[in-house]
Structure 1
Amino acid sequence: MAETEKTPEKKTVNIRMTETFLADVDAAWKELGYNSRSEFVRDTLRDAVKHPDFDRADLKAMLAGEVEIQQGRTHTAEDVREDLTPEE
């Protein structure tokens, strides 16, 4: 970076959360390989701001789909074709 370019100044933001939620946050950033809680929170907030159309309902739908896959409740392409083919 050239000497004339400066890194944007960072501001400190304080948030309140329960101890159990903080423990979940700490477990998540460590498991996901972030270097710090702050880095994880910044990245998470950046993603929420840049992708506002991805909401909680979308996340719940994906989670429900993942649970079905893990429980083996899936259909093959052939099953779907058979279900959608009109009987003669």
Structure 2
Amino acid sequence: MAQKPFEPDDPMTPTAAHVPLPDRASVCEMAACFAQEYLQMGWSEAAVLEFFRNPFYRGTHQIYAALGPADTQASIRVAAQREQERRRR
């Protein structure tokens, strides 16, 4: 809900904020969240991993750099398992 009335000249520009990641578990969870979103759009696990590897996509690539290939792939697997469980329901 809006806290004030909408005005025609209000900017509706999305803004990003840097949120420091306190520990490795948080980075793994963030990787799984990104991956789950792309898996829900129909991407394969291999395609999602390539997305993390590509430095053009700074957010996911930063996670890839922090976790390394093996842990990034493990986080994607966790997301894929969650997605499979969700689809079974």
If the TM-score is normalised by the length of the shorter chain, which range does it land in? under 0.3
Larger helix share, 1 or 2: 2
Higher relative contact order (CA 8 A, sep 6+): 2
